[in-house]
């Protein structure tokens, strides 16, 4: 549906500050999918979105939608923003305060330059869009009387009323409180699924991205650090940045004992011992290796409870702290060499600070990062 090749947009900065923007972004977005650009502030996700929308003109690259070229730096071709068949919802919603809910939603149809619609068709489309977002009963209400969540729904209806090929959402939930934000995630995914519109969603919220996305592009300093499904991003991070940015994790560094083929397992020596890790990519003997294991993939056992049983990747440690999180308890464990590790366990396992424990890292969930 959408192809972005070698996209670059560099912003000038003052003094010794590095240039901001995006540098060589490649994306292929499939028809009907919810595709998320995820990353911290300043990583280039919004710049990428604005280049696709036509709000920014890239320095380099090609952007095409359904086989139609929207931008080509080499030929100088630029399709105007209004002619790109794209709907967009901004972080600020940009609702017209002097218009009713109906007129706000109808605005894109009233000002379109081509294929003007008859009044009956405008009404049909607006009513359909407002029904989809749950605002059918608010058509004549002033937009200023809507709550934050309702304004967000109205902005979405206004973007959908054009029946665009591509929908762009730029952090649309960031102005809502936590409870409403969580509710609206489900609503956005429902609406996207019902309409089937191809959607690019921009956010810095990892849980938001993980819960609604078909695929995620994690961005770092203007580049795509990793692209994959939520499961792939979480379970098999390809860099320390991705591992640290997505969820809670334990990250350690060490050296490899022997060469390992892609998809194999190998022993890595670190400060607290030898750890067997899963390798997505091939690695060489004596290569410096980072590895990660999520807190939920760390097992805790009371000393003496595993007598006669064999555990791989098992080490003794001491409980430093415990935080109760409701469905789980999170423990901080100190291993040999003053290395600290996070582990999550069922709440009924009650370990106290100072208690000695056996820590086991699941070998198939302990992931090596090469390079």
Asked if residue 370 lies in contact with residue 283, where contact means CB atoms within 8 angstroms, the answer is yes
14-23, 107-116, 160-169, 173-182: least confidently modelled range: 14-23
91-100, 126-135, 203-212, 333-342: least confidently modelled range: 91-100
Mean pLDDT of 62-73: 96
What is the CB neighbour count within 10 angstroms for residue 312? 12
Q: What domains can be seen in the chain, in order of their start residue?
A: 2-236 (3.40.50.300), 248-370 (2.40.50.100)
Give a three-class secondary structure readout of the chain: CEEEEEEEEEECCCCCCCCEEEEEEEEEECCCCEEEEECCCCCCHHHHHHHHHCCCCCCEEEEEECCEEEEECCCCEECCHHHCCEEEECCCCCCCCCCEHHHHHHHHHHCCCCCCCCHHHHHHHHHHHHHHCCCHHHCCCEHHHCCHHHHHHHHHHHHHCCCCCEEEEECCCCCCCHHHHHHHHHHHHHHHHHHCCEEEEEECCHHHHHHHCCEEEEEECCEEEEEECHHHHHHCCCCHHHHHHCCCCEEEEEEECCCECCCCEEEEEECCEEEEEEECCCECCCCEEEEEECHHHEEEEECCCCCCCCCCCEEEEEEEEEEECCCCEEEEEEEHHHEEEEEEECCCCCCCCCCEEEEEECHHHCEEEEC
| pLDDT tens digits along 174-199 | 877 888 888 888 888 988 999 999 99
Task: Check whether 29 has a pLDDT greater than 90.
Answer: yes
For residue 173, name the pLDDT band (cuts at 50, 70, 90): confident
For residue 67, name the pLDDT band (cuts at 50, 70, 90): very high
12-26, 132-146, 273-287, 308-322: least confidently modelled range: 12-26
Task: Check whether 78 has a pLDDT greater than 80.
Answer: yes
């Amino acid at each position: 549906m959408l192809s972005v090749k070698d996209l670059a947009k560099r912003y000038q900065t003052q003094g010794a500050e590095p240039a901001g923007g995006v540098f060589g972004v490649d994306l292929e977005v499939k028809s009907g999918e919810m595709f998320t650009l995820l990353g911290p502030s300043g990583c280039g996700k919004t710049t990428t979105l604005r280049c696709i929308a036509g709000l920014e003109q890239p320095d380099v690259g090609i952007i095409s939608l359904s086989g139609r070229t929207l931008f080509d730096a080499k030929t100088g071709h630029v399709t105007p923003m209004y002619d790109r068949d794209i709907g967009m919802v901004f972080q600020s919603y940009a609702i017209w305060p002097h218009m009713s809910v109906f007129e706000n939603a109808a605005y894109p149809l009233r000002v379109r330059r081509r294929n003007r619609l008859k009044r009956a068709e405008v009404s049909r489309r607006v009513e359909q869009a407002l029904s989809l977002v749950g605002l059918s009963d608010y058509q004549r209400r002033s937009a200023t009387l809507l709550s934050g969540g309702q304004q967000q729904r109205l902005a979405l209806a206004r973007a959908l009323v054009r029946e665009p090929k591509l929908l762009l959402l730029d952090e649309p939930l960031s102005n809502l409180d936590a409870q409403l934000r969580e509710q609206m995630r489900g609503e956005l995914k429902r609406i996207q699924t019902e309409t089937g519109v191809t959607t690019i969603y921009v956010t810095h919220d990892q849980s938001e991205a993980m819960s609604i996305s078909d695929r995620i592009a994690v961005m770092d300093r203007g580049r795509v650090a990793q692209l994959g499904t939520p499961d792939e991003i979480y379970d098999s991070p390809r860099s320390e940045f991705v591992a640290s940015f997505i969820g809670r994790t334990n990250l350690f560094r060490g050296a490899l004992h022997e060469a390992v083929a892609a998809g194999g397992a190998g022993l890595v020596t670190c400060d607290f011992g030898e750890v067997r890790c899963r390798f997505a990519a091939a690695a060489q003997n004596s290569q410096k290796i980072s590895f990660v294991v999520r807190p939920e993939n760390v097992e805790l056992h009371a000393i003496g409870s595993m007598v006669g049983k064999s555990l791989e990747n098992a080490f003794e440690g001491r409980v430093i702290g415990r935080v109760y999180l409701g469905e789980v308890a999170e423990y901080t464990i100190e291993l040999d060499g003053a290395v600290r590790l996070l582990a999550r366990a069922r709440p009924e396992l009650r370990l106290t600070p100072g208690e000695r424990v056996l820590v086991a890292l699941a070998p198939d969930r302990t992931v090596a990062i090469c390079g």
